[in-house]
A and B are shown apart, each in its own frame.
Chain A
Amino acid sequence: MSPVSSGVGVGQIVGRRPTLHHVVPTIEFPGARRPDREYSIDANGVRIALHEWGDAAAPPLMMTHGGFDFARTFDAFAPRFADAGWRVVAWDHRGHGDSEHTHLYSWDADVRDASLVFEHVGGRRPLTMIGHSKGGAISLNLADAQPFRFRKLVNIDGMPSRRPIPDVAEHERTKMLAGEITEWLDHRAGTATAERRPGTIDGLAERRGKLNPRLGKAWLRYLVTVGAFERDDGWRWKLDPSIRPGGFGPWRPEWSLMRMAGIGVPFYGLLVEHTEPLGWGTTVDEIEAYLPDGGRVELVNDVGHFAHIEQPDEIAGRIMDFLGAPA
């Protein structure tokens, strides 16, 4: 981990990177476009990678990805907005994509990093935001804590309503939790030397397909070339190996919904018909009880958790109707 050089302030640029096509074999995907600009900012000593599409002088449109994803998963979605006149700015959460692997990860840290990205892009000006999955839930948190940063808020299947706990007796649930905690602690004990498992492009695409079962092989292969890196023994996802799915803690998913009710800017939520491993399975009925004044939520049929990747034109069109002209 490289420390931030002295004299660099929080939220300031700490490095510009060449686009990755100089160092990895290129796999094309129809409609996907690599970012026009890539750089990093300092978030209290952690390098956070930003990726931008579109005219640098255009109105900013912030995009943030879900858990275990990375900003380049917007490669096919963001250009549609850039071509419509937005400066799309997406960032990799700490430990994800091109952002730094760091010591600690937490929800609060992700919200704080997001706040610094907003500060870097817009200062204290309100910005328009699209968040997917965990990125959507983080944006609900940030919009509650720092409402002055938001102009309009779009949430794609990132409205947590409940923990997917099977309907079992209390003592069985305690046993399941015990197993979950033990596995997590065992994982933590091995993270100092952990590395992601190497493989071929096809192998990594196949593994990712288990979490993205509705996405095609061509897209997953493309993702490997922008979300993984190659060494002598093969490709590895960039995601910090200390980050793992699952987990436990005091946080209750429904608390995000309670925060949503108080959002004071135009809000548009999109839910999906098909439940997938990385989604919360939230229903329209659950959301409607907590919709902010003037907000709306829609169910998109025939898509899963990654609706914006499955049907980028359809989802981008709906969102652009809501956002109106870039401003």
Chain B
Amino acid sequence: MSTTRLVHNRVELALHTLRAIDGPNLLLLHGLGESAPADVPDFAAEWPGPVHALDFTGHGASTVPSGGGYTAEMLMADADIALGHVGPTTIVGRGLGAYIALLIAGARAHVVRGAVLADGPGISGGPTSPTSQPVITAETVSTTPDPFAIIELGRDLRPPDYATTFVRLANEGSDLPDPFVVTARFRPKWLRAVVDEPGVRQAGSIAEALAVYRP
């Protein structure tokens, strides 16, 4: 495994290359509180190209910011910095990473070559409508995962109509017939709405989903 340090504003992101061979790229996005795996996961064993894995801000070997301020959109920008380095890629996102995969696949529809949305920590997010959310603070730490990340990204707002907007962006900007494959069995409201959109397939496993995007 090799690691590249990428700069996103004042954060250094760790992008790990788990397998470096010629072929189409695969990028793994971890769940909330997780970090990049050390080895190529079994589900990607048959993938015919390099496998990369990103540590989001405040996770794994990436920088711990001061004083929180996490949003899913900022993690989408983390993923975009990784795309800028690896180029066109298929993405597998677990939990929180699945939601970020949805966002970046809509935002950079011509670069993302299919996104697999899989179960994992942080798949729910927070409320889908206005609520009285408490003001919560956390202990300041220098090691990952950052407690502020766990708190803030565990309750970020994910209205279904916001999530489906990114499916529509992907459908408009991608030349893939189905830019998304959902394998997650637990489906919060945002994901249920996504599954109902055109351009979204379902599969029983990540390996099966990746077969859809394997050239």
Contacts and interface: CB of A to CB of B under 8 A. Distances in A.
Interface string B65-77: 1111111011011
A94 B173 contact: no
Interface of B: 7-11, 57, 63, 65-71, 73-74, 76-77, 80-81, 84, 106-108, 129-130, 132-138, 140, 148, 152, 156-159, 162, 165, 168-169, 172-173
A178 B107 CA distance: 6
B10 A102 contact: yes
Interface of A: 1, 3, 10, 43-46, 94, 100-106, 108-109, 111-113, 115-116, 142, 144-146, 171, 174-175, 177-178, 181-182, 184-185, 188-189, 191-192, 242, 248-252, 255, 258-259, 262
A109 B152 CA distance: 9
Contact of A115 (B9, B135, B140): B135
A146 B137 CA distance: 13
Q: Kindly list the 6 A-B residue pairs having the minimum CB-CB distance in the complex, ordered from nearest.
A: A104-B69, A103-B65, A45-B66, A109-B69, A255-B130, A46-B67
A113 B169 contact: no
B158 A104 contact: no
Contact of A192 (B10, B76, B107, B162): B10
Nearest to B161: A250
B152 A106 contact: yes
A315 to B, nearest CB: 29
Given A94-B69, A181-B169, A189-B81, 4 more contacts: A46-B67, A111-B135, A171-B172, A174-B169
A115 B136 CA distance: 10
Contact of A174 (B70, B129, B165): B165
Contact of A105 (B69, B137, B152): B69
7 contacts: A10-B140, A112-B135, A185-B107, A188-B80, A248-B73, A250-B156, A250-B158
Contact of B135 (A146, A178, A242, A262): A146
Given A94-B69, A104-B69, A145 B132 contact: yes
A1 B10 contact: yes
A251 B157 contact: yes
A251 B80 CA distance: 22
A142 B7 CA distance: 33
A309 B135 CA distance: 31
Contact of B162 (A101, A191, A250): A250
Given A189-B84, A259-B132, A178 B172 contact: yes
Nearest to A247: B73
A144 B68 contact: no
B147 to A, nearest CB: 10
Nearest to B68: A109
A258 B71 CA distance: 22
Nearest to A108: B152
A188 B73 CA distance: 11
Contacts of B129: 255
Contacts of A181: 106-107, 169
Contacts of B162: 249-250
Most buried by B among A108, A112, A184, A248: A108
B130 A43 contact: no
Contact of A112 (B65, B137, B140): B137
A191 B9 contact: yes
A114 to B, nearest CB: 9
Nearest to A142: B135
A185 B108 contact: yes
Contact of B67 (A94, A184, A191, A255): A94
Contact of A109 (B11, B67, B77): B67
B70 A104 contact: yes
Most buried by A among B67, B68, B130, B135: B67
